[in-house]
Structures are given as structure tokens and as C-alpha cells.
Structure 1
């Protein structure tokens, strides 16, 4: 099965994550959700190259020493299956710019679960908070509802 290859990055500063409130695009599967920064691979890119480019394009910031934290596979008909490469980064340079996909905001980490985020995001935020080793998370959705989660081959309770 061909998976759409994407990246998602969470920049961290002062116990906050840089979150993107997706409010600017029409017909956006993430409309009005709060997510990290990232996007689709361009031809010839690997995960790190894509992550660095997407963060720079969407925030104006350049990541220094991003940490590759895990792979998250999404399944939700009718959308194509997606493999998301998840990064965090505490060191970056540059000045923030306006994002054409939504509003960027530093959100305290403890407040993130209360935002309108995808249910599966709560699972990987927990893994990030627990400093989990590199993980593979498979998430299956029916619309906005998470119906199945598998972490490193083991079914998770929802």
C-alpha cells in the first residue's frame, strides 16, 4: 500500500508547543483543529528535509537538532492512508512569520489536550510527555472519531 508521506513538527519553548490553528484554508480536513507544523514530502525529499522545509515555510524558523520521535500511520476513508514522521525541536533560529494555513500560537503543554485536536494526537502527546522511545503508532478513524489505535504492534484501549 502506498502511503502519503508527511511530517509534523512540534517546536517547544518555555514549556509550550508552537501550535497551528487551521482556520485559513477551505476544504481542509484539519479545519479549526490545532495541530503542529508540517506537510507533504516534495519529490526527492526525505523526512528530515521535508520537516526542515515545512517549518521554515510555515513559521520562518529554522530548526536546529530536531528529534525524530516516531511514525504515525493514519487510516480514514475516503482519504488516502498517510505516514506522518513526527519531530520535536527545542532549538531554532529566525523570526516568526504569519502562516498562510492558520494562526500560530505558543500554547502551554498542559493546555493542548483541551484544544480541539484529533483524538489520536492526545495519544502521541502523551508519548512525547513520557519521553517514550521512538514509536510507531497506527490510528484508524471514522470521520473525526478514533476507532482503533495500535502502538508498536500492540492494540491500545481507547
Structure 2
């Protein structure tokens, strides 16, 4: 299993999204994601998201919150525990990312982007003030989401 982080950085009603187009053999090729990546040895979730944000964007987070943990189960990929963050403060200047293009996307357009189906579930939870912290389990067969549960309770899939 692996541990990763993902952060949705908000600024003026838009979110910094990474369009994954540049990495070979990328399970998220051509999808839009927040900013993040894999833990290095001995890193905490906070240390990982700060480092990954700096490496991928050139930005240093100054205001961020740990919002949840997402357990990804797949019949293809190894199990992943993704530590989910939101941020609304940063310093620095955006740099080119070697994994794809970083683009500010308005909140209204965010859910219309090509992304994993489970990402739409946790984005809606992040936008809902009644969910300050949550645990989400997402199970995939190939690229198809077949099961989702929030805080241990199954969710209906559309």
C-alpha cells in the first residue's frame, strides 16, 4: 500500500488543478487532480503536502487544513491512502510542473473536468461545511467506481 497527499488550493474562487499529461505510465493520465504526491520516508502528511506543493507548483502553503483520508482500493493498482487537504493561503510564483499543466479553474467548472468519479465525491464533501473531516473509501474495477462509503456508511452511486 502507499500513502499520498492531495491538496485543493483555492484563490479568488478558483482552484489550482493539475492536468496530468506529461508522465509516462501515469494511472491518472489526462485527468485533472489537485496538487500532491507520494510520501517520502519519515514524512508526516503535512510535511508531504508542503514539499509536494513546493516541488510541483513553486508555491509555499501558508494556510491549509487536513480534511480527510481517502482509501482507494483497485483491482489493478495497489491500495492507496490519500491524505486530503484544502488550502487558501500561499506565497511564491507558479512554476512549470513536469507532470502536467497547472491551471486555475473556477469552482463552477471544476466538476465538469475529466477526473476520477470518486474525486467528484470528495470534492463535494470538501465544499460542504458540514464535513470538516471525513473518511472515504472508494473501490474501483479498472476505471469504474463500484463502491463508495463515507465514514463507514455506503453511498449511492449514480
Instruction: Provide TM-score, normalisation by structure 2.
Output: 0.97
Aligned residue number for residue 155 of structure 1:
154
1:26 to 21, 24, 27: 24
Q: 2:110 is matched with which residue?
A: 112
Cα separation, 1, equivalents of 2:38 and 2:116? 18
1:12-50 CA distances to partner (integer Å, 9 max, x unpaired)?
Answer: 001111000000011100000000110000011010000
1:89-109 deviations in whole A, cap 9, x for unaligned? 000000100000000000001
Pairwise mapping of residues 8-157 of structure 1 onto structure 2 (< 5 A)? 8-131=6-129, 132-157=131-156
Contact 2:15/2:105 (<8 A) preserved: yes
Distance 1:154 1:61 in 2: 36
Structure 1 stretches of 4+ with a deviation exceeding 2 A read: none
Counterparts of 1:133 and 1:55, CA distance in 2: 22
Partners in 1 of 2:15 and 2:75 — Cα distance? Answer: 29
- Give the aligned length: 156
For the residue of structure 2 that corresponds to 1:114, the secondary structure is coil
- 2:76 and 2:28 map into 1 onto residues whose CA distance is 15
Distance in 2 (alpha carbons) for counterparts of 1:144 and 1:116: 12
Q: What stretches of structure 2 of length at least 5 have no aligned partner?
A: none
Cα RMSD after superposing both structures: 0.7
What is the TM-score with the length of structure 1 in the denominator?
0.97
Take 1:21 and 1:141, find their aligned partners in 2: how far apart are those partners? 21
**Structure 1 residues 96-138: Cα deviation after superposition (integer angstroms, max 9, x where no partner):** 0000000000000111111101000000111111121200000
SS at match of 2:30: coil
